[in-house]
Amino acid sequence: MGEDLGRILWVPACAAGLAVLLLAVFTLGRMSARDRPRWLLAGFGALALGLVLFVPWLRDEPLVRVSPDVLVKAVGGALLVLAAGVSARGARVRWRAAALVGTAPLSLDEAVAAVRAGRPPGFGVYRGRLESPETLTSPGGVPCAFYDAAVHAVGEHGRKGPLLSRERAYAPVLMLRGERTRATVGFAPSALVAPLEVRRCVAVPALTQAELLGPSVEALSWERVGTPGEACLVVGELRRGPRDGTWELRGRGGRPALVVLGDEATGTGGVLSRGAWKHFAAAGGLSLAAAFMLARTL
C-alpha cells in the first residue's frame, strides 16, 4: 500500500518538475549569457535525468531490459564505430595537410588554361583571391564574406572576460578569383581556415530591460574573417561548371574544398597535421576502450 501511494505521489511531483524545467528554459533564454549560473544549468540537467530514470520505476519495469553482456558488447561495438569515424576524419585532415605542405600552389588562371589545353591539373592547391557576391559585417565591423566570432566581455587589464555570444555567418556563394577567371568554391564552414584576430566591438544587448535601456557595453571579438580581395588558397579539384565558361573547385568526390586565407600554406599545413594526429590519438583511445569492453565478455 505504501509503495502504491509513493507511486501516486510521484506523478504530480514529476509534473511539477517538468513545469519548473520549462519555466527555467524560458527564464534562462531571457537572461544575458554572463548572468547565467552554470551550477543552475547543471542542476536542471540532473533534474531532467532524474525524471527520465523515474519513468521506468513508476511503471514497475527494469531500467535495463537486456542482459549485461549484450549491453557491454553494444557499447564496445559503438566505441569501435566511433573510433573508425574519428580515424577517417583524421585521415582526411592529414590528406589536406600533405597537399598544402607538399604541393606548390598553382594560380587559377594557369589551371584554367591547362584544363582548356587538355591537361587538367587534378587535385592540388590553387591560388587566387577570395570573392563573394554578398558582403557581411563581422562583430568587429569588418566587411567580409564569412566570419566566426566569439564575443567576450573586457576583463581586468584588457584580458578576455566571460563569453557574451557566439556568432558566425557565411555568404551562400564563395569564389576564387584570378586575374582573368574565377571559380565557384564548394565549401563547408568546418573547411574554412582564417587567422584569429581580436577587435573591439559593442556587445549586443540581451532581452532584459536593464541591458536594453542601459548604456552600450564594450566587448572584444575574437574572430576569424574572410575579407573579399584577400589572398586565398583552395585545396581541391578544378572542374568545369554546369554552364559553358564556368568553373568550380571541390574536394574529391564532390566534397567541400579546403579554403585557407593568406599565403602561409606551410604553417596552416602544420596546424592541420597536428590536428590529424590528435584525431588518430583519440581513435586509438576509443579502440583501447572498445577492446577493454569486449574483453570482459569473453
The tens digit of pLDDT for each residue in 57-94 reads 555 555 555 566 777 777 778 888 888 888 888 887 78
Average pLDDT over residues 4-19: 61
Mean pLDDT of the chain: 77
- Residues 44 and 92 sit within 8 Å (Cβ to Cβ): no
Q: Which has more confidence, 297 or 173?
A: 173
The tens digit of pLDDT for each residue in 130-148 reads 999 889 999 888 999 999 9
Average pLDDT over residues 250-262: 84
Q: Per-residue pLDDT for 5 more than 70? A: no
pLDDT confidence of residue 20: 67
Per-residue burial over 82-120, b = 16 or more CB atoms within 10 Å of its CB, e = otherwise:
bbeebbebbebbbbbbebbbebebbebbebbeebeeeee
Q: Which has more confidence, 129 or 70?
A: 129
The tens digit of pLDDT for each residue in 160-189 reads 788 888 888 998 889 999 899 999 998 888
Q: Which has more confidence, 77 or 157?
A: 77
Q: Per-residue pLDDT for 1 more than 60? A: no
- Residues 140 and 152 sit within 8 Å (Cβ to Cβ): no
In the chain, which residue ranges form alpha helices assigned H by DSSP?
2-30, 38-58, 68-102, 108-116, 209-213, 265-295
Q: Which has more confidence, 26 or 277?
A: 277
Q: What is the value of pTM for the model shown?
A: 0.63
* Assigned C-alpha cell, 148: 566566426
CB atoms within 10 A of CB 78: 13
Phi, psi torsion values for 160, nearest 5 degrees? -70, 125
pLDDT tier at 33, thresholds 50, 70, 90: very low
pLDDT confidence of residue 223: 92
E strand or H helix that includes residue 256: none
* Assigned C-alpha cell, 66: 537486456
261 contact partners, CB below 8 Å, separation of at least 6? 130, 192, 193, 194, 195, 226, 227, 230, 231, 232
